[in-house]
Amino acid sequence: MKQLLLLALLPLSAAAAPFTPAPTLRYEPEPKELLEDCRAAKKRAESALEQIARLPASARTFDNTPWALDRVGAELSDATAADTFLKYVSISSSVRDAGNECETLLGQFSVEMFAREDLYRALKDYAAKGEALAGESKRLLDKQLLDFKRSGLELPKEKRDEVTALRKKLVELEASFGRNINEHKDYALFSAEELLGLPDDFVGRLERVDGKYKVGLDYPDYFPFMENSQNPEGRRLLEGKFNNRASVPNRPILKDVLDLRLKAARLLGYPTHAAFVLEDRMAKDPKTVAAFIARLRGKLKVLGGAELATLNHLKKVFEGEGADSTFRAWDWRFYDNQLKKAKYSIDSQKIKEYFPADLVAEQMLSVYQKLLGLKFRRIEDAALWHPDVKLYEVTDASGGEPISYFYMDLFPREGKYKHAAAFSLIGGRALLDGRYQKPVSAMVANFNKPTKDRPSLLTHDEVETFFHEFGHIMHQTLTKARYGRFAGSATARDFVEAPSQMLENWVWEADVLQSLSGHYQDRSKKLPKELLGRMLAAKNVNSGLIHLRQLLFGSVDQSYHGKPPSDTTAEYARLAKDVSMIPVSEGTHPEASFGHLMGYDAGYYGYMWSKVYAEDMFSKFKAEGVLNPALGRRYRVEILEKGSSRDEMESLKAFLGREPGEDAFLESIGLKPGKS
């Protein structure tokens, strides 16, 4: 109230509305208002589709049919960007629920749109004219025709309607699965004695409940506990809770989702959901993915087996010869950390003292600016959804109008999205008046919050995550694709991670690491060179097990989307034992919180697939200079600006100047090319 009275006394210019990079980005709606806005936007889109459908065949042009269809989807996405984004970041549970309802509504609308026979006929009528199209325009028409075909428009009406109904149901179930993970709340209570090994700053910030310390399941609590707690029973308890997140509601949802996906795929003429999904990816089919996973497993298995033996030996050193001979899921993070301490004197809790989050952010932005020829400026008077959030504008280093904008929302809070991700809010695209729409994106993370005694401090893994997610932001905000369908990171799903994975490499470069560091008590004190050397030497510690874990996730995903197993937990456990060599803890159901099964379905292998391309691209920088501005500009033009406006393999070849290969990837994880 005092603030409102003060604003009323200020001159009008001083009380101007906060800046927003797009008029549709409003972050303080009431739930009812949000849903009304969402429904109104959907209604406008429906009206626009009707106009497209009613045009006579003789009047059809590229602009009023394929491009018009692309504009409808893009305009609807822009109009509802804030509505759906608030599902992931709002402090209000009722607003998050409304955002989830909006997202479900729009997902169902998309299903309905691509099930419309009149729109498919409109596209085919235009295509029948045989107008000469090239490049991105031809790609748009071809992709749209395929979208309608893959939605069942070549099927008899009865089967087509069944596919549509299945997909609309799937939209509801997928949204519920993700919401249940985000909204899950659980924790464990520990006495002071049970927190042995935990850093003082970690213990000091924990909430107290009935005289005990409350450790939650969000990353800033879970990971430090699992890495440092010398209490095996405590780790077992917390790991059990972590891998049982949302298990009660999500296990039956997952079963229904897998069954419905398979049913829809078979109606469309595909043997499995994986076969349906992969048709439109770089990999093309499940056989190629299976061969990729098997080839990497063969190379990693011997390496991972030796690493596991080392960790088991270390476990006996800590717990005695009578220790459980099986290396458990709750052992992994702790003994991985202890090995780094013992062999390389690497203490992640000490290292993070040199990486205050605000300094890392400032210096990371500097790296990206130098590399890509950009300038970032924070906008102080921005409209935000939370006080922790910051907004920046992006311009070319040479000056001129802003190119785009991005937000940073870095710290956890109740109900917020639990992982790290980059959200595209407003997509880049050509407008009818000849202007180019400025993209807007948001980086969302869950780094530990600052306290009155310490700033937020990042582990080196979190610094790597920071660079990765900001790589997505650059992909999204530097796009120059003409059509919304191809803009930013809207690439083939098994390529989308490659640009950001490539940029993770910068945090393993000595000069860059030095520039990012500064002790939180005296920022002039950089990461000691001796410690830096040990960190770089330890880069590939347990790389076999780490990459086998990624292959486990890809294997689970492919298995679930082949012929779905009758028991998803049993199948996950079987594959964990076989692929990652670390068994699933009895009584846990990790598949219930495997959020990538919704959205990355049959596509999780893409993390490893794109990693191969990422390392090959980085090999160019390794050879020509990691901060080489000419090469950075080439990367910006050939990879980031193109999005999916041309085939992803063409973009790779254009940047590399050759066919891509996997030698650089194998070398990056400590394996010799051609050797297992």
Q: For residue 625, what are its two tokens?
A: 């200079």
pLDDT in tens, 205-233: 999 999 999 999 998 899 999 999 999 99
- What is the pLDDT, as a whole number, of residue 13? 44
pLDDT in tens, 305-343: 999 999 999 999 999 988 899 999 999 999 999 999 999
Question: Residue 267 belongs to what H/E stretch?
Answer: helix 247-267
Tell me the residue ranges of DSSP E strands in 339-416. 374-379, 390-396, 404-409
Q: Under a CB-based contact definition with an 8 Å cutoff, are residues 152 and 163 in contact?
A: yes
DSSP 492-520: -TTTTTHHHHHHHGGGGSHHHHHHH--BT
pLDDT in tens, 333-345: 999 999 999 999 9
CB neighbour list of residue 205: distance below 8 Å, 6 or more residues apart: 448, 451
Q: For residue 41, what are its two tokens?
A: 């936007």
CB neighbour list of residue 248: distance below 8 Å, 6 or more residues apart: none
- 282-290 mean pLDDT: 96
Nearest-10 crossing angle of helices 81-89, 31-54: 140
Domains, the chain, ordered by start: 31-114+116-150 (1.20.1050.40), 185-242 (no CATH), 353-539 (3.40.390.10)
Instruction: Enter the DSSP assignment of 55.
Output: S
- What is the pLDDT, as a whole number, of residue 10? 39
Banded model confidence at residue 15, pLDDT cuts 50, 70, 90:
low
- Cα gap 302→544, rounded to integer Å: 8
- Work out the percent of the chain whose per-residue pLDDT is above 90: 93
- 458-470 mean pLDDT: 96
- Cα gap 445→443, rounded to integer Å: 7
Q: For residue 305, what are its two tokens?
A: 């087996």
pLDDT in tens, 544-573: 999 999 999 999 999 999 999 999 999 999
The residue among 283, 281, 263, 282 whose CA lies nearest residue 273 is 263
Q: How far from chain centre, in Å, is Cα 148?
A: 27
CB neighbour list of residue 183: distance below 8 Å, 6 or more residues apart: 93, 96, 415
- What is the pLDDT, as a whole number, of residue 38? 98
DSSP 189-258: EE-SGGGTT--HHHHHHSEEETTEEEEESSHHHHHHHHHH---HHHHHHHHHHHTTTTHHHHHHHHHHHH
522 has a pLDDT exceeding 90: yes
- 159-176 mean pLDDT: 95
366 has a pLDDT exceeding 60: yes
Banded model confidence at residue 5, pLDDT cuts 50, 70, 90:
very low
- What is the pLDDT, as a whole number, of residue 674? 62
673 has a pLDDT exceeding 80: no
Instruction: Enter the DSSP assignment of 382.
Output: B
Name beta bridge partners: 215.
188
Residue 203, Cβ neighbours under 10 Å: how many?
14
Query: Tell me, what amino acid is at 60?
Result: R
Q: Is the dihedral of CA 359, 361, 367, 370 positive or negative?
A: negative
The residue among 51, 80, 77, 45 whose CA lies nearest residue 63 is 51
pLDDT in tens, 94-119: 999 999 999 999 999 999 999 999 99
- What is the pLDDT, as a whole number, of residue 676? 46
Residue 261, Cβ neighbours under 10 Å: how many?
25
- What is the pLDDT, as a whole number, of residue 9? 37
Q: Under a CB-based contact definition with an 8 Å cutoff, are residues 193 and 234 in contact?
A: no
Name beta bridge partners: 391.
379, 407
pLDDT in tens, 618-641: 999 999 999 999 999 999 999 999
- What is the pLDDT, as a whole number, of residue 671? 86
Residue 417, Cβ neighbours under 10 Å: how many?
21
Q: Under a CB-based contact definition with an 8 Å cutoff, are residues 526 and 354 in contact?
A: yes
User: Which residues are part of the catalytic machinery?
Assistant: 469
- Work out the percent of the chain whose per-residue pLDDT is above 70: 97
72 has a pLDDT exceeding 70: yes
Banded model confidence at residue 480, pLDDT cuts 50, 70, 90:
very high
